[in-house]
Amino acid sequence: MIDLKLLQKDFESMAEPLKKKGVDDKLLDELKALALNAKAKRQEMENVTSEQNKLSKEFGRYKKEKLDIAPLQKSIGDLKTKKQTLEDEVRVLEDEMTAIALGIPNLPDDSVPVGADEDENVVLEVIGEKPKFSFEPKEHWDLGEKDGSLDFERGVKLSKSRFVAMRGQAAKLERALINYMLDFNTGRGFEEWYVPFMANTNTLEGTGQLPKFEDDLFKIEGEDLYLIPTAEVPLTNIYRDVLLNDDELPIKLTAHTPCFRSEAGSYGRDTKGLIRQHQFEKIELFKISNPSSSMLELEGLLENAEEILQLLELPYQVVQLCAGDIGFSSCKTYDIEVWMPSQNKYREISSCSNFGDFQARRSNIKFKSDTGKSFVHTINGSGLAVGRTLIALLENRFNDGDFISLPRALEPYFGSSKLEI
């Protein structure tokens, strides 16, 4: 959540970057009116308190001069009542501000390029050679359905569209990728966690999915539980309401979970295949950092995710998202996009973001140091999205025969250098 105290202190300095993320002027005007009203009432409350203290000091003089203290007591009582009324009014205004602020995105970092949408994102680097084929690149579903290892019809039968059932070689490759990525991450100092696949309202509010993005979630009927859209949600909230020591930072966690997304508003995009499923596997990278080093931690997390792709021998590019395209909770985001031959374009396979103190403020995660208590910064990214990695391997490494050649890094996990199809 944005800093409401800073908002009231200097509204204009916060409003301008929020406009870069597309926040509506009308909403900002409403928030400004509440902020100014609360600021005025708080100032009035301070004046009343000052007057109350001033009159309280008069008791000694009144007693010494044997004056009637009843009028003085009445004046102090009236001021006390007025102060309580103002306190109640400020609380109501701040509650209204909080309710609105829960739907306000994080401020973009100064280093984030200005832009309205994905068309204005900036490609930073392109890594690896795109494969050259003597044939028309195959769609991953054609390759997976060749031996029945990707069974979309059974996915529909068991659930509905945008679910898949995997068998045999595809299921084995999915498991191999999960184990490979987890081992890679733990080898780089990330602690592995197993977390619940459902989360309550407080947990989802802490990371910013609620209340704004409830339509994107799957709700468990009759329970205060939702299926998680990403392991970022439980990993962040492990430390909700926790006060950390400075010497504990950075904290580095990784986890494998299925992710569940309703894809509300996707309007039929990528309806075929594994690109945009209601359920998919992902390996999460998560850090809690001292604010002074969080941007360096973001760069390190990005390098970690990139190295996985390099060892999998897949071509990719790194893109810095512009202000209009970064996520709700993020202040700075890099996307890693892997090459998809069948689509003749790069597609996102990891999104690495620094959230600043936005999630920490909502989740009340602080650290203490010699200078006092402060909110931590949270950083997360995919290391990697498993299904999209599987797609990239199928499409980039197909030889137009009856097998997919696998990178050396995967051989110990898959048990072979080839995937037969």
The CATH number covering residue 42 comes to 1.10.287.40
- 101, 136, 164 - which closes a domain: 101
pTM for the full predicted model: 0.89
**Helix 168-187 / helix 294-311 crossing angle, nearest 10 deg:** 140
Q: Single out the residue in 73, 101, 129 at which a domain terminates.
A: 101
Does 112 map to a domain?
Answer: no
Over the stretch 112-136, which tens digit does the pLDDT of each residue have?
999 999 999 999 999 999 999 989 9
In this structure, the answer to whether residues 202 and 80 fall within a common structural domain is no
Tens digits of per-residue pLDDT, 223-257?
999 999 999 999 999 999 999 999 999 999 999 99
Ranges of the chain with pLDDT below 70: 264-269
Do the Cβ atoms of 120 and 127 come closer than 8 Å?
A: no
Q: Looking at 101, 130, 147, which one is the last position of a domain?
A: 101
The pLDDT value recorded for residue 265 is 59
The number of CA neighbours under 13 Å toward the Cβ of 315 is 15
Pair (56, 187) in one structural domain = no
The answer on 226 and 176 residing in a single domain is yes
- Domain enclosing residue 43, as ranges: 4-101
Same domain, 96 and 122: no
- Express each pLDDT in 192-220 by its tens digit: 999 999 999 999 999 999 999 999 999 99
* Number of compact structural domains in the chain: 2
Active-site positions read 261, 276, 348, 351, 388
One domain, residues 144 and 287:
yes
What contacts 24+ positions apart, CB below 8 Å, involve 413-416?
A: 413/176, 413/177, 413/179, 413/180, 414/172, 414/173, 414/176
> What is the pLDDT, as a whole number, of residue 269?
65
Tokens of 195: 């977390």
Instruction: Tell me, yes or no, whether 251 and 385 share the same domain.
Output: yes
CB-based contacts of 162: which residues, under 8 Å, 6+ apart? Answer: 155, 263, 271, 276, 277, 278
380 and 235 part of one domain = yes
Distance CA 275, CA 122 (A): 23
CATH assignment at residue 360: 3.30.930.10
What pLDDT, on a 0 to 100 scale, did the predictor assign at position 264? 63
On whether both 246 and 221 belong to a single domain, the answer is: yes
Rounded Cα gap, residues 32 and 38, in angstroms: 10
Asked if residue 107 belongs to a domain, the reply is: no
Q: What is the pLDDT of residue 139?
A: 92
Task: Establish if 283 belongs to a structural domain.
Answer: yes
